[in-house]
Amino acid sequence: MRPLALLLLLPSFAAAAPVPREPEGPGVELKLDAENQLELEVTIQNNGKKPLVLPYLATPFEHIVVVLRGDKGEEYRIVHTPERVDKMEPGTLTVPAGESKTLTLHTCHYLPRLGEPGQHVTFTATLKHGGKSVESNRLTVNP
């Protein structure tokens, strides 16, 4: 009789198990803005409940890859690593919970790598942190 009583108790233990929480929505968002093709503003919006802390060796852009794509499909990736940065400035980029930080990237140096001048350029950015990647919206800028 004891095994039967044990079986009757099992469903009550299963009902007491914690219910999985609903996902909170995107904790971090990347937004792009540009008035022209020469400068790109990358805004990191922290919607999470904890500060976003990004330590870096050379520049905060170590965590961000920006892709430029021209009208004819040419593509160039801007990747900042300590090996590719002339002046290293170690530090930490902190974005408090519920706030945002905007970084400005001078893209004029990279536009010639797309080939012909005078074409539309589409920017996309990806933030990599803590084993996760967050991709921005696409932003197309007129010449």
pLDDT at residue number 2: 55
pLDDT at 13 over 90: no
Q: 100 or 7, which is more confident?
A: 100
pLDDT at 26 over 90: no
* Inter-CA distances, 75 with 31, 125, 142, Å: 20, 13, 16
88 band by pLDDT with thresholds 50, 70 and 90: confident
Smallest CA-to-CA distance from 59 within 41, 81, 43, 76 is with: 81
* Inter-CA distances, 84 with 81, 88, 89, Å: 5, 10, 13
pLDDT at residue number 96: 97
What's the whole-model pTM score?
0.78
* Inter-CA distances, 108 with 30, 40, 60, 114, Å: 21, 9, 19, 11
21 band by pLDDT with thresholds 50, 70 and 90: very low
